[in-house]
């Protein structure tokens, strides 16, 4: 007989499902919370569960301590932006009100608050996205982080725009300015292809108030403007050179031979048009208190009808630059403007016409007054030698000082 104690025990067969598969693992009772899926390790299911309290409820993860850093950075960033904005507005208002020293406040903001705000914004831009991904804040913390990050992004965009304005924009503006400048030069050259005009055209421009500048005396050198070479009025064929700006007449230069004729017309235009501004002897006349001044003296217009005594007073006061007369036929006079003034003197009651401070002072004498006053003028010339030189023009000759101290008649 066999010993029942030595008979090997066979474990009971594992019950199988009708399909022949082994039975499923028993499901633990539900505690009201979803159960995380099991992970199989070496064929054995391992259940990883979230930490729970004693009652079985899931525990919330502790907030990261890094949040305090970003809270501080967000506050500092907001304060920096507020100081920059409101400080700039205040300084601008103070400057408009005439308060001095506001520029130092602006400089202080630029070297302290602005760099600090930039550093804080940069730290936010780098650190906040990492913090959001790693720690996933919720609620108010998430809102604060998003707002702070948005402000940092706006500051970064503004900084990029400021850098662009500082470095890139000037080059673009310079290129645009260069293009416009070249276009203006081409238009200027096209408008001034024929700068020489006639005396009659100059008179028309003066009377129509079309000019802003009237240049005379010493117009002996050519002038280059915007790549265009303008001839000297003194050597031009008609004695008048016009400069146009924006396609419109702007100023004229005249030769000395046209001064007696054109300056009186220009003076009248100056009264009615408030233009042109006179330029002579290397200086502009200045308008002040309703009058034009030259070297702090009132620039007088041409005057006519001087009496003999008034002319002698001018000569004795050394205020005359030219004494112009004739003793023969006016046909020998080649300058039309001078001839016109001598004809006016011949027809005037006193036989004298004067033009004062335009900028030179001229005395034009009829034939009779030439014979009467020319020697007196020569005597007074010696008296005024150290003050003012008087040139005497009779017929087709002019008395010039050559050599020094000696007056010699030469053909004009």
Half-sphere exposure of 77 (CA within 13 A, CB side): 26
Residue 302 in this model has a pLDDT that exceeds 50:
yes
- For residue 58, the SS3 value is strand
| Secondary structure in 3-state letters for 16-56 | CCCCCCCCCCCCCCCCCCCCCCEEEECCEEEECCCCECCCC
Distance CA 151, CA 147 (A): 6
Q: What is the pLDDT of residue 370?
A: 93
pTM over 0.95: no
Distance CA 62, CA 51 (A): 12
Residue 113 confidence class, pLDDT cut points 50, 70, 90: confident
Residues 53-97 pLDDT 10s: 555 555 555 666 777 777 888 888 888 888 888 888 888 888 888
Residue 320: C-alpha distances to residues 296, 305, 327, 391, 394 (Å): 19, 16, 20, 9, 15
Residues paired with residue 17 on neighbouring β-strands, in sequence order: none
The residue that leads in pLDDT, 331 or 289, is 331
Q: List phi, psi (to 5°) of 363.
A: -120, 120
Answer whether the bond into residue 403 is a cis peptide, omega within 30°: yes
- Looking at residues 377-390, what average pLDDT do you find? 88
Question: Could you give the dihedral angle defined by the CA atoms of residues 95, 96, 97 and 100, in that order, rounded to the nearest 10 degrees?
Answer: 20
Residues 6-32 pLDDT 10s: 555 555 555 555 555 555 555 555 444
Residue 256 confidence class, pLDDT cut points 50, 70, 90: confident
The residue that leads in pLDDT, 315 or 294, is 315
Residue 1 confidence class, pLDDT cut points 50, 70, 90: very low
> Of 59-63, 101-105, 201-205, where does mean pLDDT reach its minimum?
59-63
Residues 317-348 pLDDT 10s: 998 999 999 998 887 777 777 888 888 889 88
CB 201 within 8 A of CB 240: yes
């Amino acid at each position: 007989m066999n010993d029942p104690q030595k008979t090997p025990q066979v474990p009971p067969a594992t019950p199988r499902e009708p399909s022949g598969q082994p039975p499923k693992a028993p499901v633990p009772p539900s505690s009201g919370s979803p159960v995380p899926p099991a992970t199989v390790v070496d064929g054995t299911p391992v259940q990883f569960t979230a930490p729970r309290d004693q009652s079985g409820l899931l525990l919330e993860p502790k907030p990261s301590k890094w949040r305090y850093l970003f809270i501080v950075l967000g506050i500092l960033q907001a304060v920096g932006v507020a100081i920059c904005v409101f400080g700039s507005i205040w300084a601008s208002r103070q400057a408009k009100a005439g308060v001095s020293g506001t520029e130092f406040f602006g400089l202080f903001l630029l070297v302290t608050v602005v760099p600090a705000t930039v550093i804080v914004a940069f730290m936010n831009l780098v650190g906040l996205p990492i913090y959001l991904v790693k720690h996933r804040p919720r609620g108010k913390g998430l809102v604060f982080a998003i707002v702070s990050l948005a402000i940092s992004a706006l500051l970064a965009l503004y900084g990029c725009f400021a850098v662009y304005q500082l470095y890139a924009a000037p080059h673009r503006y310079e290129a645009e300015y260069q293009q416009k400048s070249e276009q203006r030069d081409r238009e200027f050259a096209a408008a001034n292809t024929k700068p020489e005009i006639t005396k009659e055209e100059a008179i028309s421009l003066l009377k129509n108030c079309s000019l802003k500048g009237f240049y005379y005396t010493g117009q002996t050198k050519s002038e280059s403007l915007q790549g265009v070479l303008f001839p000297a009025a003194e050597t031009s064929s008609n004695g008048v050179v016009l400069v146009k700006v924006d396609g419109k007449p702007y100023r004229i230069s005249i030769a000395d031979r046209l001064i007696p004729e054109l300056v009186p017309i220009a003076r009248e235009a100056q009264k009615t048009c408030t233009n042109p501004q006179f330029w002579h002897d290397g200086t502009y006349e200045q308008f002040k208190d309703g009058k034009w001044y030259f070297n702090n003296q009132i620039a007088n217009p041409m005057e006519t009808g001087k009496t003999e005594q008034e002319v002698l007073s001018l000569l004795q006061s050394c205020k005359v630059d030219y004494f112009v007369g004739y003793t023969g036929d006016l046909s020998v006079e080649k300058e039309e403007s001078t001839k016109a003034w001598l004809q006016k003197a011949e027809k005037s009651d006193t036989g004298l016409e004067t033009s004062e401070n335009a900028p030179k002072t001229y005395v034009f004498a009829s034939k009779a007054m030439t014979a009467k006053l020319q020697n007196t003028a020569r005597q007074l010339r010696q008296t005024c030698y150290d003050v003012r030189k008087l040139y005497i023009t009779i017929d087709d000759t002019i008395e010039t000082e050559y050599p020094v101290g000696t007056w010699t008649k030469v053909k004009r």
